[in-house]
Amino acid sequence: MTKRIDFQPDPNAYRHWRLEYDGPVARLIMDVDEKGGLFDGYELKLNSYDLGVDIELADIVQRLRFEHPEVKAVVMQSGKEKVFCAGANIRMLGGAAHAHKVNFCKFTNETRNTFEAAGRESGQHYIAAVKGACAGGGYELALACDHIILTDDSSSSVALPEVPLLAVLPGTGGLTRVTDKRKVRRDLADVFCSIEEGVKGRRALDWRLVDEVVPNSRFDEAVAERARAFAAQSKRPDNAPGVTLTPLKREFHNDGSVTYSTVEVKLDRAARRAEILIHGPEDAPPADMAAFYKQGAGAWMLRAARDLDDALLHLRLNEREAGLLVFRTQGDPGKVLAHEKLLLDNAGHWLANEVLLFWKRVLKRIDLTSRSMVALVEHGSCFAGVLAEILWSVDRSYMMDGAFEGDNRPMAAITLGESNFGRYPMSNDLTRLQTRFLAEPEHVEALKAQIGMALEAEEAMEAGLVTFAHDDIDWDDEIRIFMEERASFSPDAMTGMEANLRFPGPETMETRIFGRLTAWQNWIFNRPNATGAEGALQRYGSGQRGNYNMERV
């Protein structure tokens, strides 16, 4: 699997999903093209999906939030007879490289989180209308919705058959959402996750696996009623124009580098390193939200979020040996804060809210990226407000201290903004500053007194906002030594160490999904019981069950 994976599908050429609109209700219909796999070697039968199907879904969810403010309820349903969704395609999983499988699971989780939070954060509620078999990743699609309606007939069921059938785990948070979100009793969850055939009708409702069970004769009517009820709860505007997410301006170069309108990605494959340079806004912010509307997808706050998000996904899936990501910024920190302030001052406006929530998701994407990450606060940088969050998302940071010979850029500084104290929580529901100073919550409160102040190296070090500060004499050597050392460590050990260190504090459903689940699934995907020549994934469909090493490890 060597072709470049593109995370920007053409909305006019979706192969696997279609949308129908009826005022405040949209129908999101899954009708997977069997011949439309992202790679050769498998067919996407029974509405099974691969990464390509999910890339389209992620794009649709994003466009629904930005381009269709009038949509208040989204009904997710199947376009095929007798099957809702069979889940992730087994042939794809059996043939994919280990890293692709794990990154596929992570991306699907992030996509589920996006529409799962849409109702709570944006008033755009998702309802799963389940007819037919709803198994594995198909049930995980439903689990991420606000409400699940199951038709009561002889063939419709919900199931998580991965353990008995494939020797793997539901890779998109199924186990965690069953217990933490739906609060299914542990012994019943144990039964449910141990059977291939799933659970139907009244039992599915009694076990809390679905929210409603409706006779087939009035299924469509019940779904429509529930969608209207959810739409009536929403505060999204009725007639506001949406913002079209126009194609990104980007260019891929022969050396692996990528240029966007606000982001540059420079790749050093020999050093296994990628540098991500974010350019701050050049112009003053729009005067008001009407002017922001007019700029649309060209507004810096929205454009930079889209560019950075695409760059992160590109590096994750297409440049898997770039083990160190180096974040840098250049620009006017005052303009960064001014552009962000327009949205913060108008947070009640649906569009301002969506852009701020998008940044929340992009910053989480950084948190959850399984690479070593460092930020360099150089002269001329603009780590302020939303961009300052990156400093506390990465594993460590270095800052230039004092004047550097021949460098006449503005002195390196960090500027805290109001947004750093609650606007962009991590997966653990704490801000990055709260997570950083877990033992010193009073220090976070004290830092609020420095909002808007340009903190140079000595002050930033004293405030604990960077890891190290170096002068002109030591800067190049210290950065070189760090990068060379990081590149020499085992990538496996780094992934484990970083994931353990990034999320101190309270656990949430989200941290359990991305921490506990990802760690176990990563391990299971490497075990011969699942992926060996006689493993369950390889033998699936052959009539032979997997040949397991029965030793408990």
Domains with residue ranges and CATH for the chain: 11-233 (3.90.226.10), 250-493 (3.90.226.10), 498-539 (no CATH)
Q: What is the pLDDT of residue 250?
A: 97
Q: Classify the C-alpha dihedral 135-138-143-146 as positive or negative.
A: negative
What lies within 8 Å, CB to CB, of 426 at 6+ separation is 363, 364, 367, 432, 435, 503
Residue 118: in which H helix or E strand, if any? Answer: helix 118-122
- Label residues 268-301 b or e (16+ Cβ within 10 Å = b): beeebbbbbbbbbbeeebbeebeebbebbeebbb
Select from 355, 354, 306, 304 the least CA-distant residue to 329: 304
Which token pair is 473? 């004499």
Q: What is the pLDDT of residue 2?
A: 67
Select from 110, 169, 78, 40 the least CA-distant residue to 317: 110
Select from 161, 152, 140 the least CA-distant residue to 76: 140
Quote the pTM value.
0.96
Residue 359: in which H helix or E strand, if any? Answer: helix 350-367
- Residue 4, CB half-sphere, CA atoms under 13 Å: how many? 16
269-380-248 Cα angle (round to 5)? 55
Distance CA 306, CA 194 (A): 41
Report the 10 Å Cβ neighbour count for 255. Answer: 9
Distance CA 475, CA 468 (A): 10
Instruction: Walk across the sheet containing 372-377 and list its strands.
Output: 250-252, 258-260, 263-268, 273-279, 324-330, 372-377, 396-400, 468-470
Do 75 and 230 touch, CB atoms closer than 8 A?
no
Report the 10 Å Cβ neighbour count for 427. Answer: 21
Q: Which residues of the chain have pLDDT under 70?
A: 1-2
Q: What is the pLDDT of residue 1?
A: 44
